[in-house]
Amino acid sequence: MPATTNLRKELDIALNNILRYWKNNTIDEINGGFVGRITQDNQVDDTAAKGLVLQGRLLWSFSAAYKNSNDPTDLALAERAYHYIKTYGIDPIYGGVYWSLTHKGEVLEGKKQTYAIAFVIYGLSAYYEISQDMEVLAWANKLVEKLEKYAFEPVYGGYIEALGQDWSKIDDVRLSDKDLQASKTMNTHLHIIEAYSNLYRVAPTDYLKEKIDHLLSIFDQYIINGKHLILFMNNRWESSQRFFSFGHDIEASWLLLECAETIQDKRWIKIYKRHAIQLAEGALEGFEGGALNYEYNHATRHLHAEKHWWVQAEALVGFYSAYTLTQHEKYLKVVYQIWSYIKSNLLDTKHGEWFWGRDAQGELMLGEDKVGIWKCPYHNTRACLELLHRIPKD
């Protein structure tokens, strides 16, 4: 296998290329903030909706980039993302964060999706770390308060998926058209604990620690099922579905352990080290052709063999984490194989950034975004930063 020195150098170059793309292509000079959509062939959609998930992830990405680089451009773009969210994304009447805005910053879909609020908290916590602006911390804490008041489900624990703009109950709580109708989901809980953990890291409180402990218990008791995660559940944590999401398995493997380490709970650290290896082994079931497949339906035996960009980014971190925990070379070998796949199949050498993915036949997935509500710099920026932090320097 190549020396990790070369991998570090390549990741550093890749990180700079990702950030350069967003700096050069996505600033909305007319309406503020960042554009809502750019097509795969790099055409800007000036009238596309602006999702708050994307805005929160941009805030996190440029804040984390500035922490790593001290580049004033990264700081300026983090500030830009923050001011856009504060001005347009936060509901001044009911509190919380809207789901989406028009390109002009008007409310398009006002529902309170727990997932979106979590990502804005995640971004705010990262921006607070670099700015030390108490207003930023206050906004993050206000969003936590809203989630705990309205989205926390006190009978069985955990958090419900979505509510109306005024926090009233709604019928369709799905995060996207691809998701099942379920009151509680793995995905939302993963990103709540991610957000709470990052906020705790930069501004620790006993209250947040208690909430993180609760979420670690929820994952251990209800969501982690051996080598895989249960994705969709009702209020009582019951589920009849059996989808295996290889990307979420490997993402959760390292992220949940990091959350346990953040609150320095020895019992949870021990438990989540074990979960990390089990989930990495589950994700390996989806490894094929140098990368992770997207999903497997256990009931129908259907393999969704697309290779999505975010899955490969999370796999870099998750399998390197598994290697660090076990010193088993097979995990490190997979890291190199996936990185090789990314370089050969996902990097857009003409326009920059990463393509959405490849289909089961290895062809580029057509019609997908380069920038959009779901296409952001968060997964691949974080993967580069995490590995640069984890791989020992010479």
**Segments making up each domain of the chain, as ranges:** 4-390
Residue-wise pLDDT for 49-106, tens only, equals 999 999 999 999 999 999 999 999 999 999 999 999 999 999 999 999 999 999 999 9
The arrangement of secondary structure in 4-390, i.e. its CATH architecture, is Alpha/alpha barrel (1.50)
Residue 123 · residue 57 · CB < 8 Å:
yes
Give the Cα separation of 72 and 85 in Å (integer): 20
pLDDT tier at 2, thresholds 50, 70, 90: low
Q: Evaluate if residue 158 carries a pLDDT over 90.
A: yes
Q: For residue 369, which phi and psi values (nearest 5 degrees)?
A: -85, 155
State the pLDDT at residue 3: 63
Mean pLDDT of the chain: 97
Average pLDDT over residues 341-355: 97
Please calculate the CA angle 121-126-129 and round it to the nearest 5 degrees: 125
Q: Evaluate if residue 224 carries a pLDDT over 70.
A: yes
Q: Evaluate if residue 280 carries a pLDDT over 90.
A: yes
State the pLDDT at residue 181: 82
Average pLDDT over residues 281-290: 98
Q: DSSP label at 154?
A: T
State the pLDDT at residue 15: 98
Q: Which residues contact 366 (CB under 8 A, 6 or more apart)?
A: 40
Residue-wise pLDDT for 92-127, tens only, equals 999 999 999 999 999 999 999 999 999 999 999 999
Angle separating helix axes 378-390 and 4-25, nearest 10 degrees: 150
State the pLDDT at residue 179: 74
What is the torsion angle, in degrees rounded to the nearest 10, for the CA atoms of residue 162, residue 222, residue 253 and residue 345?
-50
State the pLDDT at residue 240: 73
Average pLDDT over residues 209-238: 98
Beta pairing, strands 184-185 & 107-109 = unpaired
pLDDT tier at 247, thresholds 50, 70, 90: very high
Q: Evaluate if residue 203 carries a pLDDT over 60.
A: yes
Average pLDDT over residues 215-230: 98
Three-state DSSP state, 149: helix
Q: Evaluate if residue 162 carries a pLDDT over 80.
A: yes
pLDDT > 70: percent of the chain? 99
How many Å from the N-terminal Cα to the C-terminal Cα in the chain? 17
